[in-house]
Structure 1
Amino acid sequence: MMTEFLAAALAFPTVLFSLLVLVVLAYWLTVVLVGIDFDAPVLPISISLFVVITWFLALVGTVLTPENKLRWVVLAGALLLGALATKLVLIPVKRWTRPEKPASRNDFVGRTAIVRTSRVTENYGQAEVTADDGGTAVVQVRAATSTDLKAGETALIFDYDAEGEFFWVVDISTGG
């Protein structure tokens, strides 16, 4: 059984990927032993998955096609299916490894907010705004003197004043 496996692993086209699997194993062993700390870069993971998946497909194809004339078809099929399978496997991996952008107050610019104080003036006011993750925050807001925003009305956040640490808002409520 083991000799059949070795024969298939060392036969063309599987042997091409068998050598690459050894390189991938050496790479990841080095990462583990040396203790390289990285945030799961997608490129080494992508290449490693592609090599392992394509090696497996080539191995299966080599076992199922004993005739040497079909081995080029096995190579082409393994490369094509390996690329497709790797792309499918990487969809959740990319979501997992995507670095999260740190939250910023500027993320609220362009969002609507509900006024929570009795009024909003150029010197006073608070409103509740919803973040991307569904959480809410009560933030300091200011409006021009001509705006008459009251509690419960909807305002649009159009700018952030970093020095004053407040958001500029404009009334977009439909009345009420």
Structure 2
Amino acid sequence: MDFLNTIFTFPTVVFTTLLLVVIGFWFIALLGFADIDMFEGDVEIEADGSDSLFQMGFGGVPLTISISLVILISWVISFYSHQLFEYVLGEGVVFYLLGAAVMFGCFVLSIPLTAILVKPLRRFFESKETASKNEFIGLECVIATSRVTGNFGQAKVQFQGTEQLIEVRCEEENEFKIGDSGLLIEHDELRNSYVVVVKPW
């Protein structure tokens, strides 16, 4: 009862709700009704010549895994913080103000911890991509981001019956928008991305 009271009391209840959503998503994914890469094309991360903190910490694994770990770790930290500091949270407005501060602190702490946990997972996702890098050249792709530049862009490509999300680059800006078709002509080892051009036909 003490456990249930804690996880369904503010601020931990916020992470409990998110965790239940995550559990529901992975249950649906296990049944085959959801793809773990389903959100990759909807998130645009600006590079500006160098990787952002998010890219450096979470790059190489599907976004759904990173988000799930952030929520799980936040929930664990919040649960134990709630247990330790519930008697100093006070009541009324003070309770919610301090609770919100604890909730924010748990979220901030979960980010570097998640970045550490995803590092050993990268090789499982990178190995599949490495094996098929050269085989993607010459294939058509569908742009999955609102634009493709020399530093940013993603596209979906059909390969061996599965749809994969890859990084693409185009030196000519404004050539592509989301939903456009392109042709993969080269793999850039340095940037681990593909050069995409407008289809000649």
TM-score normalised over the length of structure 2: 0.45
Match of 2:73 in 1: 53
Tell me which of the two structures has the higher relative contact order, counting C-alpha pairs closer than 8 angstroms and 6 or more residues apart.
Answer: 2
Structure 1 residues 38, 87: closer, same or farther in 2, change over 3 A? closer
SS in 2 for 1:12: coil
Specify every segment of 5 or more residues in structure 2 that has no aligned partner in the other structure, as ranges.
38-59, 90-94, 135-201
The counterpart of 1:100, out of the listed 126, 130, 142, is 130
SS in 1 for 2:6: helix
CA contact (8 A) 2:25 2:34 kept: no
Between the aligned partners of 2:133 and 2:19, the Cα distance in structure 1 is 40
Question: How do 1:106-117 residues align onto structure 2 when only pairs under 5 Å count?
Answer: none
Match of 1:84 in 2: 112
CA contact (8 A) 1:21 1:52 kept: yes
Structure 1 residues 18, 37: closer, same or farther in 2, change over 3 A? closer
SS in 2 for 1:65: helix
Which AA in structure 2 matches 1:72? A
Provide the identity percentage. Answer: 30
Which AA in structure 1 matches 2:62? V
Match of 1:158 in 2: none
Which AA in structure 1 matches 2:28? T
Structure 1 residues 53, 27: closer, same or farther in 2, change over 3 A? same
Structure 1 residues 92, 65: closer, same or farther in 2, change over 3 A? same
Deviation of 1:27 after TM superposition, in Å, equals: 0.4
Specify every segment of 5 or more residues in structure 1 that has no aligned partner in the other structure, as ranges.
105-176
CA contact (8 A) 1:8 1:63 kept: yes
Between the aligned partners of 1:65 and 1:25, the Cα distance in structure 2 is 27
Q: RMSD value over aligned CA atoms?
A: 2.4
TM-score normalised over the length of structure 1: 0.51
Structure 1 residues 102, 34: closer, same or farther in 2, change over 3 A? closer
CA contact (8 A) 1:11 1:62 kept: no
Say which one has the larger Rg. 1
1:50-76: CA deviation from partner (whole Å, max 9, x where unpaired) = 111111111111111012244234212
Between the aligned partners of 1:38 and 1:76, the Cα distance in structure 2 is 26
Deviation of 1:81 after TM superposition, in Å, equals: 1.1
Deviation of 1:11 after TM superposition, in Å, equals: 1.5
1:86-132: CA deviation from partner (whole Å, max 9, x where unpaired) = 1110111122212214375xxxxxxxxxxxxxxxxxxxxxxxxxxxx
The counterpart of 1:24, out of the listed 17, 22, 28, is 22
Between the aligned partners of 1:78 and 1:5, the Cα distance in structure 2 is 18
Between the aligned partners of 2:36 and 2:71, the Cα distance in structure 1 is 21
Question: How do 1:141-152 residues align onto structure 2 when only pairs under 5 Å count?
Answer: none
